[in-house]
Amino acid sequence: MDKFTTLTGIAAPMPLVNIDTDMIIPKQFLKTIKRSGLGVNLFDEMRYDRDGNEIPDFVLNRPAYRDAQILIAGDNFGCGSSREHAPWALLDFGIRCVISTSFADIFFNNCFKNGILPVVLPQDAVDALMRDAEKGANARITVDLDSQTVTGADGTAYAFDMDPFRKHCLMNGLDDIGLTMEKAPAIDTFEQHMAQARPWI
Q: Of 10, 17, 130, which Cα lies nearest the Cα of 62?
A: 10
CA–CA separation, 141 and 139 (whole Å): 7
- 3-class SS at 8? strand
Position 45 in a domain: yes
**What does DSSP say about strands 140-144 and 6-14: parallel, antiparallel, or unpaired?**
antiparallel
CA–CA separation, 86 and 177 (whole Å): 20
Q: What is the pLDDT of residue 33?
A: 77
| CATH label of the domain that carries residue 168 | 3.20.19.10
User: pLDDT for 88-104, tens place per residue?
Assistant: 999 999 999 999 999 99
Segments of the chain assigned E as strands? 6-14, 70-73, 97-100, 117-120, 140-144, 149-151, 157-159
Regions of the chain with pLDDT less than 70: 178-184, 201
Backbone angles phi, psi at 57, to 5 degrees: -80, -15
- 3-class SS at 93? helix
Position 161 in a domain: yes
Position 61 in a domain: yes
Position 201 in a domain: no
Q: What is the pLDDT of residue 32?
A: 79
Q: What is the pLDDT of residue 151?
A: 97
Other beta carbons within 10 Å of 65: 19
Segments of 64-116 assigned E as strands? 70-73, 97-100
Position 196 in a domain: no
Position 181 in a domain: no
Instruction: Let me know: does 13 contact 133? Beta carbons within 8 Å.
Output: yes
Q: What is the pLDDT of residue 112?
A: 95
Position 54 in a domain: yes
Position 109 in a domain: yes
Residues linked to residue 10 through DSSP beta bridges, in sequence order? 140
Number of domain units in the chain:
1
User: pLDDT for 68-125, tens place per residue?
Assistant: 999 999 999 999 988 899 999 999 999 999 999 999 999 999 999 999 999 999 999 9
Q: Give the structural domain span for 163.
A: 6-174
Q: What is the pLDDT of residue 176?
A: 72
Instruction: Let me know: does 71 contact 95? Beta carbons within 8 Å.
Output: yes
